[in-house]
Structure 1
Amino acid sequence: MLFGNFKIPQPYNEPIKSYAPGSKERESLQKKYQELKQEKIEIPIVIDGKECHSQDIREVKCPHDHQHVLATFHHASTQDAQKAIDSCLEARKKWARTPFHHRASIFLKAAELIATKHRDLINAATMLGQSKTCYQAEIDAACEFIDFLRFNVKYAEQVYQDQPISSKGIWNCVEYRPLEGFILSITPFNFTAIAGNLCIAPAIMGNVVLWKPSPKSMFSSHFVMKILQEAGLPKGVINMLPADGAEFVQEVLKNRHLSGIHFTGSTHVFRSIWKAVGNNIDVYDNYPRIVGETGGKDFMFVHQSANTEAVATAIIRGAFEFQGQKCSAASRAYIPESMWPQLKDILTTEIPTIKVGDVGDFSNFMGAVIDDISYNKISSYIDRAKKAEDCEILVGGNCDNSKGYFVEPTVIVTKNAHYETMTQEIFGPVITIYIYADEKYEETLEICGSTSEYALTGGIFSSDIYAVQTAYENLRDSAGNFYINDKVTGAVVGQQPFGGSRGSGTNDKAGSYLNLVRWVSPRSIKQAFCPPTDYRYPFLGN
């Protein structure tokens, strides 16, 4: 029972700390990094608020020092999944009926815990487990996760406040019920904030969640779960089951109580999940909601009027931050002939200055790619480009996995606009440049818009407003997030709702109310104050 119309505090984007030399935050984070690196922890399965263990124990290693074991984790089985589902369904009985302001307070508290007490912890864990630099970890694990927590509860309030009109003598309402059953959240290795958001967004709306984090990010995911528990999350609302492989997921997808899937990962896996849901459709009590953000082949299109230095900076930051392991990373660029000589000079001068190595050394701009599978995939693309007749390696191209999975920032120049590195997602620090004749601007825009199966991010660099308008129109369906004179990655919660279409996902826009409405089932309620007592209408009279 509510005795007041409680208002959620106005959210704001968490300020990003610089970690500049001599700063207190730099010293504090370096200390926490070393502390965590020396501790070898055990990561349990979490079901019904309890730590559970299995016989299948696996290791968590630093990508930039792959002989260093950070932790061991207990791998969940399909039997564990059934226990977690039972826990979810039991927890739903109370959680779905918990007043919104009480639910919201838990996630707002989690935001404050990360902003203050546990900022170094979540950042250091992300640096060690996912090889992010201090700044990349700060943007992701601290600031973006805090933003998701703060903004999502405000968006939930916005959803609840959307009510219908009422005619004379009646009162119409809409109740935004949580979905009936449980949500399966499948999260990726590359963003701690995304791992958190895919769990908390449905939970904020009163849903219960079975969370399958990526084994590649178990170190930070463990601390995310710990922080949510410290914030007061009731047992069973989110159950964390570390697991790898299709068998585990396919078993969960057969459960009749599945009500939704919140996914970020590869296009191939997402399509296999969608297919499995279709095959199991007769099993379910409801039609499961399927929300997914998948791959990208993100483009930078440059007009001859653009600022060359700005283009070079956008290429370097957009393609190489976090080793290009972002679904939004710049991975193909279209450059006009007239600009190429100057841009080439800048790239060949600046990129060799980029330091790659242990992210514990704050002078490094890049760390390692996540594991040997990723390393082998990226290096194979580079090796083929070295041998291709219509390609050249402009800069970079060297790989070394003797200590960590290190790949140099690499620029490929191609004469073939449809070469494989212009069309296929690599998920590494590799960008391919295609040089076009200035007078073929619109023709090349058409090539750009039709080259890829993806439509996640892209952008235009130009100081000519008519050129911008032309690109804006021609590339309308080619990117769910479109940038003008900026790098094509780094969407901010509350500012640029994130998501794409085509092979890039369902475009349900994380970081906006649009995502939250997917996790509710509206119920329309009409109350008549003075209902009629005679079935006869006036037109029936003589």
Structure 2
Amino acid sequence: ETRWLERHARKFGAFIEGEWKFSSSPRPFVPSVDPCTEEVLAECEQAGKQEVDQAVAAAANAFKGWSSLTGHERAKFLYAIARSIQRHHKLFAGIESLDNGKTIRETKNIDVPLAVRHFYHHAGWAQLQEQEFAGYRPVGVVACIIPWNFPLLMLSWKLAPALAMGNTVVLKPAPSTRLSAFLFCDILKEIGLPPGVVNVVAGDNEMASYLVSHPSISKVAFTGSTAVGKQIRKQVAGRGIKLTMELGGKSAMIVLQDADLDACVEGCVDSIFLNQGQVCCAGSRLLVQEGVMQDLVAKLKARMERLRMGTSLDKNADMAAINNESQLRTISSYVEEGKKEGGEIFQSNLSFNPSKGYFFKPTLILGLQTCSSLSQNEIFGPVLVVHTFRTPDEACMLANNVRYGLAASIWTERICVAMEMAKKIRVGVVWINSHNQFDAAAGFGGCKESGFGREGGKEGVVE
């Protein structure tokens, strides 16, 4: 990781028309910080309107040549991207962990393999374009705006289908996690992707707003908070361009009394403590049938005590750091609010107590009302709120009692009951006896204030 950063002198600009470019006028550089140590990894130049204009123009110029290639010709490039990421998988995993704060075990086993899978999968759709998508045409230049919780994976979710169907892209990574996108640009140069097909500009919210409102953009694909999603929706309204948004969530894990409680405990760990709870579809609400409430909570507390916290490159760590200081403050304020609302707070008694870094202990909260702020709002951290229910119908009602509609999971030995409940829950994805299961062949997305449109699968390609 250090050698790659030093090769760029730890300074990055915009990637436009296949080349690294720095602004001719003085622009501020923003540091990329390791959340575990608070050390500066690199500095990134803030792009402005000039760089956005250049990037969009480069994408528009490249569109004619790229869209005129056959699906098989474009597939060759997607296969090359996938193989190149595989070849450099250790570097990608290391950079993603350092820049984001998540454990190296997660980036090696989840982020990088899933990113590769998306490029392989959509290379297949590119080859089948003439048969499966006869009559469909590429939309043009796509503006892709991605969040900081899964930088590389979200990049692949956006770019793979766009490139496969003949579109060109201007990508805007999150301010705190830009390095994996810059490493990806080096991969594009390595495989010889035509200049201008993919352009990366890193800037602030003002720059992102200018990109979204640019007249040469034909589609916006956004993953991020519901608040920002609403602003983007207003900006593109009436312009006749396509829009896909995957926003916040407050997903429920529903545990019926006949469920395998040990499996449920591991499901909780995977759903709310994965990536320190910074997952849009994290199971942040645990709805438990009254008869097994005490047993499940006891097992869950014991499991939380065995979780291991460490730095992002610690191979034995289950959890690492929150991505940024602002998010750490947000999580802390929600937990304090939970105390004021009468919640019973349980936190793991972990021995890991670093002097620096944005760490937060896994937290369990009981005794809150279902209308409390912690039960209704997306916390985006390792905080699990527990409620009880008596009947499956009541569980579905509680699951629907939020403004979000991204995902849910149902835990029971009776699959027929789970299938009936799944029909009643207003979310985009329902898992049965599992949580946070993803595949490039399965469409993902939400409803209500969790957004609209799908990414992944054939339905994602149509978008």
Using structure 2 for the length normalisation, give the TM-score: 0.93
Partner of residue 44, structure 2? 73
In structure 2, the CA distance between the partners of 1:397 and 1:370, relative to structure 1 (3 Å rule), is farther
- For 2:215 and 2:193, locate their aligned partners in 1 and report how far apart those are by CA, in whole Å: 25
Aligned residue pairs total 457
In structure 2, the CA distance between the partners of 1:157 and 1:502, relative to structure 1 (3 Å rule), is farther
Matches within 5 A, 1:11-26: none
User: Counterpart of 1:96 in 2: which secondary structure?
Assistant: helix
* Counterpart pick for 1:58 among 18, 27, 30: 30
In structure 2, the CA distance between the partners of 1:121 and 1:402, relative to structure 1 (3 Å rule), is same
- For 2:286 and 2:396, locate their aligned partners in 1 and report how far apart those are by CA, in whole Å: 11
Partner of residue 430, structure 2? 482
Contact 2:443/2:460 (<8 A) preserved = no
In structure 2, the CA distance between the partners of 1:176 and 1:98, relative to structure 1 (3 Å rule), is same
Contact 2:71/2:129 (<8 A) preserved = no
Matches within 5 A, 1:242-253: 242-245=202-205, 247-253=206-212
* Counterpart pick for 1:45 among 5, 14, 17: 14
- For 1:126 and 1:139, locate their aligned partners in 2 and report how far apart those are by CA, in whole Å: 12
Runs (5+) with no aligned partner, structure 2: none
User: Counterpart of 1:301 in 2: which secondary structure?
Assistant: strand
* Counterpart pick for 2:166 among 200, 206, 225: 206
In structure 2, the CA distance between the partners of 1:98 and 1:469, relative to structure 1 (3 Å rule), is closer
Matches within 5 A, 1:242-321: 242-245=202-205, 247-278=206-237, 281=239, 287-321=240-274
> What amino acid maps onto 2:130 in structure 1?
Y
Matches within 5 A, 1:49-128: 49-54=18-23, 55-66=27-38, 68-116=39-87, 118-128=88-98
- Paired-residue identity, %: 27
User: Counterpart of 2:317 in 1: which secondary structure?
Assistant: coil
Partner of residue 491, structure 1? 438
- For 2:213 and 2:368, locate their aligned partners in 1 and report how far apart those are by CA, in whole Å: 48
Shift of 1:121: 0.8
Contact 1:336/1:435 (<8 A) preserved = yes
- For 1:441 and 1:204, locate their aligned partners in 2 and report how far apart those are by CA, in whole Å: 43
Shift of 1:38: 8.2
User: Counterpart of 1:334 in 2: which secondary structure?
Assistant: strand
Higher Rg of the two aligned structures: 1
Contact 1:196/1:224 (<8 A) preserved = no
Matches within 5 A, 1:277-426: 277-278=236-237, 281=239, 287-389=240-342, 391-396=343-348, 402-426=355-379
Shift of 1:140: 3.8
Contact 1:159/1:513 (<8 A) preserved = no
Per-residue Cα deviation, 1:311-347 (whole angstroms, up to 9, x for no partner): 1111112110110111111100111222122112212
2:394 maps to 1:443: yes
In structure 2, the CA distance between the partners of 1:176 and 1:254, relative to structure 1 (3 Å rule), is same
2:453 maps to 1:507: yes
User: Counterpart of 2:120 in 1: which secondary structure?
Assistant: helix
Shift of 1:465: 3.9
2:230 maps to 1:230: no
In structure 2, the CA distance between the partners of 1:412 and 1:36, relative to structure 1 (3 Å rule), is farther
* Counterpart pick for 2:408 among 433, 458, 476: 458
Q: What RMSD over aligned residues (CA atoms) do the two structures have, in Å?
A: 2.1
Contact 2:285/2:386 (<8 A) preserved = yes
Partner of residue 522, structure 1? none
Per-residue Cα deviation, 1:199-244 (whole angstroms, up to 9, x for no partner): 2321221111111111211111111111122122111111110112
Runs (5+) with no aligned partner, structure 1: 1-31, 164-173, 282-286, 519-542
Per-residue Cα deviation, 1:230-285 (whole angstroms, up to 9, x for no partner): 1221111111101121x212222333222001111111111111101126x2xxxx
- For 1:421 and 1:59, locate their aligned partners in 2 and report how far apart those are by CA, in whole Å: 32
Using structure 1 for the length normalisation, give the TM-score: 0.80
Partner of residue 100, structure 2? 130
Contact 2:305/2:349 (<8 A) preserved = no
